[in-house]
A and B are shown apart, each in its own frame.
Chain A
Amino acid sequence: NAGVTQTPKFQVLKTGQSMTLQCAQDMNHEYMSWYRQDPGMGLRLIHYSVGAGITDQGEVPNGYNVSRSTTEDFPLRLLSAAPSQTSVYFCASSYSGARGLREQYFGPGTRLTVT
């Protein structure tokens, strides 16, 4: 299994541009999430999905859209990039087991700079 993959690894955008960060997992996990990581602030939840066709907002959803048309893919869209969205973005997936949700598996991250 490749686990959780993210593309691109690095991206530079100009203010106002839009783009999509890609995330895919091949573990048949039903749960997927997007986090952003800023220095000294840990990771903050942007959006999450509990299954195909179902998404919900996390702690910091403004400026981002998500969709979940398949179990494998969970893209994150930046509608109009702003310098405040400069960050490292992590996608994660997990599955439910007999004892509830299990370990979240994180992708390698996308480092985004908005100028």
Chain B
Amino acid sequence: RKEVEQDPGPFNVPEGATVAFNCTYSNSASQSFFWYRQDCRKEPKLLMSVYSSGNEDGRFTAQLNRASQYISLLIRDSKLSDSATYLCVVNMLSGGYNKLIFGAGTRLAVHP
């Protein structure tokens, strides 16, 4: 079983739509959680951290459910510029340091 699992997509949605991505992680000792965004042929960049109480940044809302080991990202009012791959990332203690475990990503394509 992969340590971080995501639906690869693609999610094809029209502009203005609301879309949600889910992610599950296997290690209950995981400490912190993130969503990174990766544009085609580019490097990953941090989109937002995910806090236990849930957090929002503009059109983006992230939720964490530790009991179910589940993370979500909701994008409202999708823009063409939101088209990218979204990586679910878990920070966990391993071998004496906090390392990042990356999911394979969920691809989003927003069309006019």
| Bind each other | no
